[in-house]
Amino acid sequence: MRNRVVGSIIIAIAVLMAFIIYSFNQGMTEIVATSCSHGTSCPMWGTIDFQTNMSIGITAFVALIGLYLVFFGEEERIITRIKRVAQQVEPREPTKENYRKIMSELDADEKAMLNVVIESHGTLFQSELMAKMGFSKVKTTRILDRLEGRNLIERKRRGMTNLVALKQ
């Protein structure tokens, strides 16, 4: 949605530029017509033509950028794809039957982090987990996001940190 809004604003700016260029050219044409005695062979007419063509080219370029953003902006397509994938993926409820299957699907970091949570009697603060694992905040958060997406853990906000708990 943002690309369309920005594209529309850019197109509006291009229209405003075109109006200003038209007004400027009308004024310059009147000035040159009254001050130039040589007629159309006067070099001022050539300057006006050059300035008009350059300004029209720049305005067209700006308008094309706006049109591209309105019609071909990638942001909306990416968001639509993400929403479609999110609707297709449903978290599985861990049970005794699929525990081994779930553990086999986890990578080494996810298994290690889940084991630390289990060894901590099912709950610990995210900051403690980060310290025990030796991972950065970003890596810890991403691994916890994946575990939470698989419905294995849940995070509850507690002050400035999260409490990580096994899903019941």
Per-residue confidence in pLDDT tens, the chain, 168 aa: 577 888 889 999 999 999 999 999 898 888 888 887 777 777 787 788 888 889 999 999 999 998 888 887 766 555 566 566 555 555 555 555 666 777 788 899 998 998 888 888 888 999 999 999 999 999 999 999 999 988 888 999 988 889 999 886
pLDDT at 85: 57
Quote the CA–CA distance of 147 and 154 in Å, as a whole number: 8
State the residue range of the domain holding 23.
Answer: 2-84
140 & 79 share domain: no
Q: Kindly list the distances between the CA atom of residue 29 and the CA atoms of 5, 10, 18, 33, 39, in Å, as whole numbers in the listed order.
A: 36, 28, 16, 6, 12
Domain boundary among 84, 113, 138: 84
Quote the CA–CA distance of 168 and 154 in Å, as a whole number: 9
Task: Tell me if residue 125 falls in helix, strand or coil.
Answer: strand
111 & 139 share domain: yes
105 & 78 share domain: no
21 & 78 share domain: yes
148 & 74 share domain: no
12 & 37 share domain: yes
Q: Kindly list the distances between the CA atom of residue 111 and the CA atoms of 84, 114, 140, 146, in Å, as whole numbers in the listed order.
A: 28, 5, 13, 11
Q: Determine, yes or no, domain membership for 93.
A: no
pLDDT tens by residue, 49-68: 888 889 999 999 999 998 88
106 & 79 share domain: no
Burial class (CB in 10 A: 0-12, 13-18, 19+), 83: exposed
65, 9 contact by CB (below 8 A): no
Q: Determine, yes or no, domain membership for 90.
A: no
Quote the CA–CA distance of 32 and 51 in Å, as a whole number: 14
Dmax over CA atoms of the chain, in Å, equals 98
Q: Determine, yes or no, domain membership for 94.
A: no
Q: Determine, yes or no, domain membership for 151.
A: yes
Q: pTM for this one?
A: 0.43
Q: Determine, yes or no, domain membership for 89.
A: no
Report how many domains make up the chain: 2
124 & 158 share domain: yes
Domain boundary among 84, 112, 131: 84
